[in-house]
Amino acid sequence: MSDIDATAIPRGARASVETVLAAVWDDEMFTSNDVMPRVGLTRSTTIEAIDELIRFGVVEELPNARAGGDYRKGRPARRFAFRPDAASVVGVDAGRTHVIATVADLRGRPLARISRELTTDLDDALRRQEVVAAAIDAALAEARITRDGVVAVCVGVPAPVDSAGRSPVRHNEFWRRMNPDLVDTAAPWAPLVRVENDASLAAVAESAHGAATGCRNFIAVLAGDRLGSGVVIDGRLLRGAHGGAGELIPFDHVTGVGSADGIGVHVATWAREAAARGRIGARSRLAGLTAEELTAPVVFHAAQAGDPDAADIIARSARVITRVAAVFGGFFDPERIIFCGAIADSIESALVPARAMLQDEMDLPAPELVASPLGADVVAIGAVAAATESARAHLLAFASAPLTASSR
């Protein structure tokens, strides 16, 4: 499967075969009569395409209606099913301090997941490549799948990524350390390899499984440690010449925001500053906590419980959220801004006042502010969804032989 050969399916038949495959990918069971009106092909061409997909290994023929017990009269129709187990995909969330590798079938259903924690002194490029490769191999081993059984790999990183999967060199080289050409890690053995910015994959996840389902204009904001965004306008994920379309370092220069630090960092920092200056009341839920214990979730939960000191901090974060949303709204005119990552589980108490304030900040209609339902796994979920998307678009373009269970 690692040898790309465009002659695997005859060129003249490829278009009709790809059309039929796209139409049946999500079907549990189908007949040629089910497919014909959806693809606009003749019966003979449709059947030929289905037979080609059976030969290729991604569709199987089921027992006919008579054998299945549904036959009544007349000639029983041939019945078919897409084979999501014909091959596998791998999605990787390669964050600053963690690597999560997930193996899934062709419909994105997880088969195995491996998580590795990293320390911040392991920013060495070679070491990072090794950790990512080892996590992928460990997840494949857990799923009992060989590299030959993988058709697509997607890796998410905290850096801008261009269309070739490379990150630009910045003066501190952080982006290159986060993405030391990770596209080359799987390229020797995986037919389809994709590296994306982590916030862009959050947008993919929200579109496929989260708060943006059916929405064509939205922004997914990773808001925990650092602000990052995936921007989808008119149904298309924006990238830019160097992958920087969603990069938020320019917020360093925006009054009322002041940096690209995430909402979680702001909340924790303000709580620690208040404690150090003696501004936390003795009866506050935050009183007596160490700096390490004064985390964003703790402050959010205290505010939700009615703690006034915590509520003041959350109100301050709401003003930052409002300004961030107003900038996004003015530049991109989205329908919705989705706050993603681990912070999404507790950010609602800040979104409530931010929604009200945003109405007065904008000339355009204000976008809806929502918390993601996908939690801390949003990038890992998006990486699998993107790998599945790649397989769905290009599955038939590369293999020199049919997919078989023996490759797994």
Question: Domain 86-210+379-407, what fold?
Answer: Nucleotidyltransferase; domain 5 (3.30.420)
Picking from 102, 152, 126, the residue whose alpha carbon sits closest to that of residue 1 is 152
What are the pLDDT digits (tens) for 318-377? 999 999 999 999 999 999 999 999 999 999 999 999 999 999 999 999 999 999 999 999
Domain 218-373 coded CATH 3.30.420.40: yes
Tokens representing 66 are 């008579």
Q: 323 burial class (0-12, 13-18, 19+ CB within 10 angstroms)? A: buried
Task: Give strand pairing partners of 196.
Answer: 156
CB atoms under 10 Å from CB of 241, counted, come to 10
Model confidence band, residue 4 (pLDDT cutoffs 50, 70, 90): very low
Relative to beta strand 218-222, strand 110-117 is unpaired
State the Cα–Cα distance between residues 257 and 224, nearest whole angstrom. 14
State the Cα–Cα distance between residues 262 and 273, nearest whole angstrom. 17
What are the pLDDT digits (tens) for 276-313? 999 999 999 999 999 999 999 999 999 999 999 999 99
- For the cut 70, the answer to whether the pLDDT of residue 408 exceeds it is no
Tokens representing 346 are 């507790």
Within the chain, what is the greatest distance between any pair of CA atoms? 85
- For the cut 50, the answer to whether the pLDDT of residue 194 exceeds it is yes
- Residues 72 and 64: beta-carbon distance below 8 Å: no
For residue 231, what are the CA distances in angstroms to 179, 243, 310, 361? 20, 11, 31, 21
Mean pLDDT of the chain: 90
State the Cα–Cα distance between residues 242 and 221, nearest whole angstrom. 19
- For the cut 50, the answer to whether the pLDDT of residue 3 exceeds it is no
- Residues 145 and 186: beta-carbon distance below 8 Å: no
Tokens representing 109 are 């259903």
β-sheet with 88-94: strand ranges across: 110-117, 98-105, 88-94, 150-157, 192-197
DSSP letter for each residue of 350-374: HHHHHHHHHHHH-SSPPPEEEE-SS
- For the cut 60, the answer to whether the pLDDT of residue 63 exceeds it is yes
Residues of the chain with CATH 3.30.420.40: 86-210+379-407, 218-373
CATH number of 11-82: 1.10.10.10
The one-letter amino acid at 221: V
Model confidence band, residue 43 (pLDDT cutoffs 50, 70, 90): very high
DSSP letter for each residue of 172-188: T-HHHHH-SSTHHHHTT
Residues of the chain with CATH 1.10.10.10: 11-82
What residue spans of 236-377 are helical by DSSP H? Answer: 263-276, 296-304, 308-332, 348-361
For the four alpha carbons of 387, 389, 390 and 395, in that order, the dihedral sign comes to positive
pTM for the full model?
Answer: 0.90
Counting Cα atoms < 13 Å in the Cβ hemisphere of 149 gives 24
Model confidence band, residue 402 (pLDDT cutoffs 50, 70, 90): low
Relative to beta strand 110-117, strand 59-62 is unpaired
Give the three-state DSSP class for 337: strand
DSSP 76: P
Task: Give strand pairing partners of 220.
Answer: 230, 338
Residue the block writes with tokens 């959806």: 38
What are the pLDDT digits (tens) for 139-163? 999 999 999 999 999 999 999 999 9
State the Cα–Cα distance between residues 274 and 279, nearest whole angstrom. 5
